[in-house]
Structure 1
Amino acid sequence: MTDAREHLLDWLRDAHAMEQQAEQMLKGQAARIENYPALKARIEQHIQETLGQQQLLESCISRLGGSPSTIKDTMGKVMAMGQAVGGMMASDEIVKGSMASYVFEHMEIASYRTLIAAAQAVGDVETQRACEQILAQEEAMAQWLQEHLPEVTQQFLVRDETPGVTARK
């Protein structure tokens, strides 16, 4: 039978892979955005947060005697590349990318809430605090996207109806 500490370590590895996926997804998205400066700036800010989150997770994993999962990290990056390629084909890439980011943020929020509960269960205060810090960043990004999705959508629609103007990115 697997104990709670092993589950915590495994879920931390999952979260690390998720942040690897997020990094690739966000970098791809930011590189393609041309006409939505507020969204691009917020994504670039979140890329820096994501890099810090990876370091926090690596520290937690190491403290528990483990290391990040190369297989999980690679799979996360492959999934992000697939998402990027799929998104590039959409005529409304900016809207679909924003929606996908909003959904992804909520998956991350659920993951960190789970990690916090697991860390509490095993008495790992350092992991709990690290995950609470990350959770706050993910919730802030989700909130920003929620508040700005209507604006991005409306900007896209105006740009899309304007002859000679690129709307999709």
Structure 2
Amino acid sequence: MTTIDRQVVGYLKDAHALQQHVQAALSEMLTTAANEPEMCGPLGHYAERSRSHTRAIEERLRAHGAGPSIVRDAGMLFAAVAEGGLGRSRRDPVGKHMRDAYVAVHLQIAAGEMLRRVAERAGDLETVRAAAAMCDDAQLMSRALSDRWDLAVDMSLRQHGVTDVPPPPNAS
């Protein structure tokens, strides 16, 4: 295996571990937003797409004669579970889960961009396609989350019993 192929495999392993984290963050957000169809719809669709990306990454790892990094995956899952457990005890789980989902999606974009660019240089077009699809979906999810910040604030306020709040200043 060449040095650049090892780099591709390393970025594939990183992307796989991050996918595990993203899936856990999405699960927490879906649980928190279970009664909000406007939030659950895009999150549910993205969770499906994220599972598809995980399978594609696993296929690319196999094509390179490698597998996911148990250590990286375990670390990401541990972090996600710890965050989720803390989320249940937080005073504002909706706001924190929204923030965490937004950050996770942007980490996914960064990991996908690095993977795509290294795979391009290695001439691995299948990995380029898998990474580009992951980035495209993460960009769409980033916009969907950005469009729902006010909804997250409303959900958070309702969670704390605040019901008499005026709409956001820019709402028409």
Distance 1:96 1:6 in 2: 36
Residues 9-158 of structure 1 mapped to structure 2, 5 A cutoff: 9-157=9-157
Deviation (angstroms), 1:116: 0.8
Q: Assess if the C-alpha contact under 8 Å between 2:94 and 2:155 holds in 1.
A: no
Deviation (angstroms), 1:88: 1.2
Q: Assess if the C-alpha contact under 8 Å between 1:29 and 1:84 holds in 2.
A: no
Encode CA deviations 1:25-59: one digit per residue, 9 max, x unaligned.
22233223344222122222221111101100001
Distance 1:49 1:63 in 2: 21
When the two chains are superposed, the root-mean-square deviation of aligned CA atoms in Å is 1.8
Structure 2 stretches lacking a partner, 5+ long: 165-172
Structure 1 stretches lacking a partner, 5+ long: 164-169
Q: Assess if the C-alpha contact under 8 Å between 1:95 and 1:152 holds in 2.
A: yes
Distance 1:22 1:106 in 2: 10
Corresponding letter in the other structure for 1:78:
F
Moved over 4 A (4+): none
Deviation (angstroms), 1:131: 0.7
Deviation (angstroms), 1:155: 4.1
Q: Assess if the C-alpha contact under 8 Å between 2:25 and 2:104 holds in 1.
A: no
Q: Assess if the C-alpha contact under 8 Å between 1:99 and 1:149 holds in 2.
A: no
Distance 2:123 2:91 in 1: 49
Q: Assess if the C-alpha contact under 8 Å between 2:22 and 2:105 holds in 1.
A: no
Corresponding letter in the other structure for 1:161:
V
Identical aligned residues as a percent: 22
Encode CA deviations 1:79-117: one digit per residue, 9 max, x unaligned.
110110111112221111111111111111011111111
The TM-score normalised by the length of structure 1 is 0.88
Corresponding letter in the other structure for 1:12:
L
Deviation (angstroms), 1:150: 2.1
